[in-house]
Amino acid sequence: MNAASVNASLREIDDLPSPRGLPLLGNLHQLPPATHHLKLERWAAELGTPYVFHFATTPVTVWDDIELSHAVMRERPHRYRRYEPIENILKEFGCNGLFSIEGAAWEPQRRLVMQALSIPHIKAFYPTLAAITERLRRRWEAAARAGRVVDMTEDLKRFTVDVTSALAFGEDPNTIENERVLIQEHLAMLLPMLMTRVNAPFAYWHYVKFPRDRKFDHAIAEVHRHVRELMTRARERMREERSAEGCETPLHEVRAAPRNLLEAMLALRDAPNSDITDDEVAANVLTMLVAGEETTATAIAWALLFLSTDDALLARVAAHARDVIGDAAVCPTYGAMRELDLCEAVCTEASRLHPIAPYLSFEPLEEVRLQGVRLPAGTKMFMLNRPAMMDPKNFADPARYDPDRWLHEHRHPVEGAPEHGPHEQRAYLQFGAGPRVCPGRHLAVVEMRLVVSMLAANFTAQLATNPADIHEVCTFTSVPSAMPVRLALRQDR
């Protein structure tokens, strides 16, 4: 085929199917902020993919091919980058850390974060994880005895903030027991405001601040004050240790293996000729706090939608937990935690049906040609996650909630056992893929196993609202609109 024929077969962005829009606004008026992800999925079903919609005058291409998603993520950060407005807004927030940073700064920061979230580090940290889980159990026991309905999303975010702070920064704010600690409330405002400003047709906040913007400005200032205090205290601890040892070694050489992410980043920051700044350290602290709070808490919350409406499933998870942890209130050891496969499976399956990240957003750094479409550098690309997870070619009976599909014996039956249908794990992209796969995925799995086993072993649970009244709200991640649960102490303990 000659070059002219190849070029003739290429489609341009304007050749793609598109929902009807309005001049200047494009399709902006058709995309309610809280549910825009559902609209994008409906258009994909109606128009097929790829299609293009217009965010005001900016074209955004939409894709749902799982192999293409993997291919794009494999070529990050060299050929593709995350959607540029995300990085720009996070820079304004002082939060342009590992999640959003691009270019040469990414790799050294990635190494530090991976060290802090490595399996050996989390294994050594496990007693603290278990202690924070026990603290959550006591909070839920008090609620059960008082007959109070538990706001699960709120409590789970408190749990994940405490875990992330203790692991990554060496300090435990104890938001679970201390109702007056406001850091979690301030953090909760960041992702919704990120979504609002990324989707704004122009940077209105540079010219006028609405009450919501002023409230957010106060919250982010308080969060940064908290982060700088964390950094100051960590530096002081490192200096005190050096002084106690009678050591004249420079601060960045005090410990060959820093105990947490913050110490590692400060040691690197304070090394001679360092190109890391305090602002970059603070941005990564903030990134860890937000990412650690939101995603794992949401995955567990979605699992509770199914556990608290299915007594038989909850009883089965409780029996599984008791088989593993015995009479303990919380899983006592890291080794035992690794046996809690069903507790992880209920969360994984919930986030297959209700993906925490309904889509991933990228831009090519150079012109690319994908599926016969020419995309100039900087073209906006949304990669939908749910369609592949709801495709019967990837998952058997995909609309059914079935945690068993994630268990080893289900995926790999013994010879002669019945086939269970397709199970394409590569279609599940909640932790991403490629070089920039989520560094916190192992910590998330440990938290899921700990919390679900603790809840099922110690409590019965009933959803305190009609399940039909719970819907997805996209605040950068897709969270449940509510998750009120009434707990009762198990009588069979």
Looking at the DSSP bridge assignments, the partners of residue 359 are 384
Q: What is the mean pLDDT of the chain?
A: 88
280 CB-contact burial (10 Å; exposed 0-12 / middle 13-18 / buried 19+): buried
Q: Is pLDDT larger for residue 481 or for residue 268? A: 481
Summarised one tens digit per residue, pLDDT across range 79-89 is 999 888 888 88
Is 438 annotated for ligand binding? yes
Summarised one tens digit per residue, pLDDT across range 427-471 is 998 888 887 778 888 899 999 999 999 999 999 999 999 999 999
Q: Would the pLDDT of 120 be above 60?
A: yes
- Between strands 380-384 and 58-63, the pairing is parallel
Q: What percent of the chain has pLDDT over 70?
A: 91
Nearest to 113 by CA among 284, 349, 268: 284
Entry pTM: 0.88
- Where exactly are the structural domains of the chain? 65-489
Q: Would the pLDDT of 247 be above 80?
A: no
Order of all β-strands in the sheet with 58-63: 51-55, 58-63, 380-384, 359-364, 80-82
Summarised one tens digit per residue, pLDDT across range 315-330 is 999 999 999 999 999 9
Which amino acid appears at position 423 of this protein?
Answer: H
Looking at the DSSP bridge assignments, the partners of residue 479 are 473
Please give the pLDDT value at position 181.
66
111, 435 in Cβ contact below 8 A?
no
d(CA 168, CA 116): 7
CATH code: domain 65-489 is 1.10.630.10
Q: What is the mean pLDDT of residues 147-173?
A: 90
Under the banding of pLDDT at 50, 70 and 90, the label for residue 479 is very high
Sign of torsion over alpha carbons 143, 148, 153, 155? negative
